[in-house]
Homo-oligomer: A and B are copies of this chain.
Amino acid sequence: MKILLIIADGLGDRPFGPLDGKTPLEAASKPNLNALAREGMIGLIDPILPGIIPGSDTSHLNYLGYDPFKYYTGRGPFEAMGTGLKLKGGDVAFRANFATVDEKGVVTDRRAGRIREGTSDLARPLNMRIEDVEVLFREGTEHRAALVLRGEGITTDVSDNDPHAEGLKPREIVATNENGKKTARILNEFYRLSLEILKAQPLNSKRRAEGMKEANAILYRGGGLVPTLPNFNERYSLKAGYVAAVALVSGICRLVGLKDFSPRGVTGSTDTDVKAKFAAAVEALKEVDFVLVNVKGTDIAGHDGNGIGKKEFIERIDRALGETVMKIRDDIVICFTGDHSTPASAKEHTSDPVPILLRYHGCRRDGVGEFDEINAKDGYLRLKGSDLMNVLLSSANRAEKYGA
């Protein structure tokens, strides 16, 4: 059988006052999810381990079978993926900031007045080639950005230029050992060039004229190697694809070799979008054997503290399932879960285990017909994130017996 893994980002929640102490999933009207629960089994999954607060990156890696304790190389590479930069194994990625320096080169604001607008115009001309090294630069949220070096001999054996305080000059980048010499040279040259380029940008002339802090320097830190991940398709002997709008998730999917089936312009925040994503996944399953779909609205509502909005987004998901996935449910393995909890009461990720639903033709039925965090404890499944691929593959008759 083919496999559809639907990840509602940040799905798990806690009792929410305005929902009479129910969780958004408990409170939501969700006839299709409940039907799948009745026809299959539900339970709880710890995306990493009990008590470990997952990021979307570490949990997606773990779900796909890539142990984050082995493959997660820090925020630099994964935040860079989150900006939408298309990274490759072996790239070295840094977390970067737009900052303000005065005429003597002293940092006067590490965040360039928390600049919000126009950073994409500033970032574009910072993409360049220095020697034989490709320099990729992309803006993130507010003053944040990502700097990536791609080329022969690039390593993480270098210091940061970020002085981590105002009133100081950015530090000269130095190699921490022999292997870092080329990288340090490239980074120092990049810093020199970036000062010239940024100074000449119209946006900075405008900010200067309006008395705002210029975004005229780049501070970078926390270089990390983009991991080279074993190809998912080869590893599990199948063809796999994904549907996701959020850059961090699509970055990971791309890195492990999943094919992009995401419809254009979709963000996942409206009914139409959710339905378009599920429809794209159903269509993709005609071509490939495994599709991961990430819908983001649940996480966004959780971060916003909007438990009612989260409930409503779950209802959208349920309606969209009814119009798409439900129609092929007897032909595939369906798994519906979240990558972590983002309780509306906490407004951030927590380590609470996440409800999970598994349904395929002929599977065990645990008799629990309400899919939510609380009923999940009475369901059949009690998994760790690292179990998921094995469970999905064996449910789909795609696993080999271990032994005779």
The reply to whether A380 and B383 contact each other, CB–CB distance below 8 Å, is no
In the bound complex, residues from chain B placing their C-beta under 8 Å from that of A387 are: 49-51
- How many Å lie between the Cα of A245 and that of B349 in the bound state? 39
A48 at the interface (CB under 8 A from B): yes
**Is there contact, CB below 8 Å, between B394 and A351?**
yes
Please tell me if A382 contacts chain B, counting CB pairs below 8 Å: yes
- In the complex, A193 Cα to B392 Cα: how many Å? 49
* Bound-complex Cα distance A49 to B382 (A): 12
Chain A interface: which size bin?
35 or more
Residue of B nearest to A392 (CB): B51
Contact with A365, one of B15, B75, B343, B402 (Cβ below 8 angstroms) = B15
Contacts known (A351-B394, A390-B351, A391-B351); A400 close to B53, Cβ less than 8 A: yes
Interface of A is mostly: loop
Residues in B with CB closer than 8 Å to A346 are 362
Residues of B contacting A389 in the complex (Cβ-Cβ under 8 angstroms): 51
A362–B377 touching, CB < 8 Å: no
Q: Assess the B403–A55 pair: CB atoms within 8 A.
A: yes
Residue from the list B349, B378, B391 in contact with A51, Cβ < 8 A = B391
CB-nearest residue of chain B to A72: B403
Residues of B within 8 A of A59 (CB): 403
If A15-B365, A248-B404, A345-B362 touch, does A53 touch B399 (CB 8 Å cutoff)? yes
* A404-B78 contact, Cβ under 8 Å, with A14-B363, A351-B394, A366-B377: yes
Chain B residue numbers with a CB within 8 Å of A23 are: 364
A75-112 residues at the B interface, CB under 8 angstroms: 75, 78-79, 82
Nearest CB of B to A238, in Å: 15
A56 at the interface (CB under 8 A from B): yes
Bound-state Cα–Cα, A382 to B390, Å = 18
Scan A339-362; emit 1 where CB is below 8 A from any B CB, else 0. Answer: 000010110111110000000001
Residues of B within 8 A of A401 (CB): 53-55, 348-349
Which one, B75, B349, B403, contacts A57 given CB within 8 A?
Answer: B403
Of the residues B51, B362, B392, contact of A14 by C-beta under 8 Å: B362
Please state if A68 and B374 are interface contacts (CB–CB under 8 Å).
Answer: no
**Given A351-B399, A378-B377, CB of A390 within 8 Å of CB of B82:** no
CA distance A345 to B175 in the complex (A): 63
Q: With A364-B15, A382-B382 in contact, is A391–B50 under 8 Å at CB?
A: yes
Which residues of A come within 8 Å of B, CB atoms? 14-15, 23, 48-59, 68, 72, 75, 78-79, 82, 248, 343, 345-346, 348-352, 362-367, 373-374, 377-380, 382-384, 387-394, 399-404
Nearest 9 pairs of A and B residues by beta carbon: A55-B403, A51-B390, A58-B403, A51-B391, A50-B387, A351-B394, A55-B404, A57-B403, A53-B401
Known contacts A14-B362, A49-B390; 11 additional CB pairs below 8 A are A48-B402, A51-B389, A51-B390, A56-B404, A68-B402, A68-B403, A78-B403, A82-B404, A343-B362, A351-B390, A351-B391
